[in-house]
């Protein structure tokens, strides 16, 4: 089998796995779920990607599956030639996809336990190094498992919850390129590090509207290859409007941002890594009894990246949630 046909097979298999996950969630026989290093909302009202402050009732279980696709403006041949002429070491790729399985359980009316486990795809990796461009193929595999707790401090017109958790080094860290050499840690599905998370969420309903926001910060520790992947901050704001006429339908408009620190190896930071990206995401949610389907399309409004990196393009997100 040629390298090209093998790459096509891996892409097709990944897409099939993602679609099957969504199918089985909506099936009665389903029995098994953010960004870009984020943990998305799992509720049945309000935002799609923003984590709201509200919690599940005690004893309730919410299962979820989501599919997120991100397009990137991969370096052009002219850009690669310029980087090679300057002998600049930089990474480029054309798209990424994450299929996530999640579960949230209401331990009490004010305390939720949330598990999130991603399967990651990064396509058409290229590296400029020592004056040449290396085509490295795709990086595909399980990412790191995240355990998050949400504790609601109080419930009134405004709800506020504290977020805290940890990312476990369960992801694959030995993906190899087309030549059999190990990919860099920043291109691996997992980081190989134990990383704590902390943050808060706030929600305020007003008639048919709901306003939500959250901040989630991940402290990055030394992981695979002795690399520190860099701290990540996810910050989100959302406004939702719920229709109750024919069906339970909610329109959502969100601003979703993610900032990442530069990676570090042996005390040296990579100047061509990290930065800040903000998306404007219009979307919707449809509730059908105990099943909720949501979808959003993200348009980058800020691409403030460090050094030489492919800029973020369109982001597509869809997910299903099942309440038990």
Q: What is the pLDDT of residues 177-214, one digit of tens each?
A: 888 889 988 899 999 999 999 999 999 999 889 999 99
* CATH match of 3-323 with 2.30.30.100: no
Mean pLDDT to the nearest integer, 65-69: 95
What pLDDT score does 56 carry? 92
Beta strands in the chain (DSSP E): 61-73, 90-92, 95-108, 111-129, 132-142, 146-155, 159-167, 195-206, 209-218, 227-228, 232-243, 248-260, 264-265, 268-269, 275-288, 291-305, 311-323
Residue 24 has pLDDT above 70, yes or no: no
Write the burial class of residue 166 (CB in 10 Å: 0-12 exposed, 13-18 middle, 19+ buried).
middle
The helix/strand/coil state of 157 is: coil
Domain boundaries, given as residue ranges, for the chain:
3-323
What pLDDT score does 12 carry? 53
What pLDDT score does 208 carry? 87
Residue 10 has pLDDT above 60, yes or no: no
**pLDDT tens digit string along 231-245?**
999 999 999 998 876
What pLDDT score does 288 carry? 84
The helix/strand/coil state of 252 is: strand
What pLDDT score does 11 carry? 55
Buried/exposed 18-42: b ≥16 CB within 10 Å, e otherwise? beebbeebeeeeeeebbbbbbbbbb
Q: Sorting pLDDT into bands at 50, 70 and 90, what band is 20?
A: very low
Q: Which of 167, 283, 183, 286 is nearest to 234 (CA)?
A: 167
What pLDDT score does 185 carry? 86
What pLDDT score does 39 carry? 47
- Average pLDDT over all residues of the chain: 86
Residue 6 has pLDDT above 60, yes or no: no
Residue 67 has pLDDT above 70, yes or no: yes
Q: Poorest-confidence range of 24-28, 216-220, 258-262?
A: 24-28
Half-sphere exposure (CA, 13 Å, Cβ side) for 189? Answer: 24
202 neighbors 159 (Cβ within 8 angstroms): yes
Q: Sorting pLDDT into bands at 50, 70 and 90, what band is 22?
A: very low
- Beta bridge mates, 209: 206, 241
158 neighbors 202 (Cβ within 8 angstroms): yes
What is the C-alpha to C-alpha distance for residues 186 and 112, in angstroms, rounded to an integer?
31
**pLDDT tens digit string along 78-121?**
989 898 988 888 889 999 999 999 999 999 999 999 999 999 99
Q: Sorting pLDDT into bands at 50, 70 and 90, what band is 26?
A: very low
DSSP state of 272: T
What pLDDT score does 276 carry? 96
**pLDDT tens digit string along 256-309?**
999 999 999 988 999 999 999 999 999 999 988 889 999 999 999 999 999 999
């Amino acid at each position: 089998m040629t390298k090209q046909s093998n790459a096509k097979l891996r892409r097709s298999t990944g897409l099939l796995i993602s679609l099957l996950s969504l199918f089985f969630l909506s099936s009665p026989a389903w029995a098994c779920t953010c960004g870009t290093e984020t943990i998305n909302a799992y509720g049945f009202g309000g935002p799609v990607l923003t984590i709201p402050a509200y919690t599940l009732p005690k004893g309730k279980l919410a299962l979820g599956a989501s599919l997120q696709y991100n397009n990137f403006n991969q370096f052009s041949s002219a850009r690669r030639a310029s980087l090679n002429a300057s002998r600049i070491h930089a990474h480029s790729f054309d798209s990424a996809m994450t299929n996530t399985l999640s579960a949230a359980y209401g331990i009490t009316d004010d305390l939720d336990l949330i598990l999130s486990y991603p399967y990651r795809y990064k396509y058409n990796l290229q590296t400029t190094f020592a004056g040449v461009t290396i085509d490295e193929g795709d990086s595909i595999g399980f990412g790191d498992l995240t355990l998050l707790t949400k504790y609601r401090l109080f419930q009134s017109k405004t709800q506020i919850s504290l977020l805290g958790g940890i990312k476990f080094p369960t992801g694959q860290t030995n993906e190899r390129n087309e030549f059999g050499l190990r990919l860099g840690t920043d291109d691996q599905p997992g980081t190989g590090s134990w990383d704590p998370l902390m943050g808060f969420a706030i929600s305020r309903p007003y008639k048919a509207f709901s306003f939500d926001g959250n901040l989630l910060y991940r402290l990055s520790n030394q992981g695979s290859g002795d690399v520190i992947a860099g701290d990540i901050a996810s910050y989100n704001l959302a406004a939702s409007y719920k229709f109750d006429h024919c069906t339970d339908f909610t329109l959502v408009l969100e601003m979703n941002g993610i900032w990442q620190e530069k990676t570090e190896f042996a005390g040296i930071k990579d100047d061509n890594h990290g930065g800040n990206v903000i998306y404007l995401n219009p979307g919707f949610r449809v509730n059908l009894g105990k099943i909720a389907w949501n979808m959003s399309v993200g348009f980058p409004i800020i691409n403030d990246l460090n050094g030489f990196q492919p800029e973020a393009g369109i982001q597509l997100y869809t997910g299903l949630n099942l309440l038990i």
